[in-house]
Amino acid sequence: MKPIKLIIADDHHLILQGLVTIFEDHNDIEVIAEASNGLELVNYVEALKPDVIMVDLDMPVMDGFTAIQKIREKGFGCKILMLSMHQERSLIANAMEIGADGYLLKTAAPDEIINSIHAVLEGKKVFSADLTMSLLTSNSSATSNQSSELENLTQREKEIIALVAQGKSNKEIGEQLFISHRTVDTHRTNLMKKIDVNNVAGLIRWAIDNGLA
């Protein structure tokens, strides 16, 4: 089996080298390039066609958000993990909206980073465990600000959208809730209509904004 081709972009040399070190003992992941700004990253992606990229949010020349937009506009199909110290909901939602497949904090443990790379390649959406807990904690005091759309969801729909936001497939959700994957798919379709979104990224963004992820 060929190793996963990974490009890492971060303008802090120590952080960049620390990330590279994580993969030295993992033969199934190969770091094929290291970028120090968003423009370098876009050029590397175009030239090297990686499977996954890890992108810092704050970089000179071109920031992480702009780099992701350029990469998606050019039609490259690599999976994208945003890497940041920032925990604001708006940033996370923006990252998912423009095409990121996951959002990790720089405090993430090496095992979490490795597992996240494999998860996004399986088509899952990934969020840092620390980030999820932080959002849940901050949401506990903001119940009154949740949208009226949330009040219109059934308990089952809330459970399903929360599991979708965790990156689980219809099959995995069905197994956890003891319902068929077709029933899960029906719920997801109804959810999209209720909250007026068109894709999984929209569901995840809505779940984050309303304290369900």
Question: If you classify domain 4-136 with CATH, what class do you get?
Answer: alpha beta
pLDDT digits over 38-90, tens only? 999 999 999 999 999 999 988 999 999 999 999 999 999 999 999 988 887 77
Which residues, 6 or more positions from 86, have their beta carbon under 8 angstroms from its beta carbon? 57
- Domain segments of the chain as ranges: 4-136, 142-209
Assigned CATH topology for domain 142-209? Arc Repressor Mutant, subunit A (1.10.10)
Amino acid at 50: P
Same fold across 4-136 and 142-209: no
Q: What is the pLDDT of residues 87-131, one digit of tens each?
A: 877 788 788 888 899 999 888 899 999 999 999 999 988 888 766
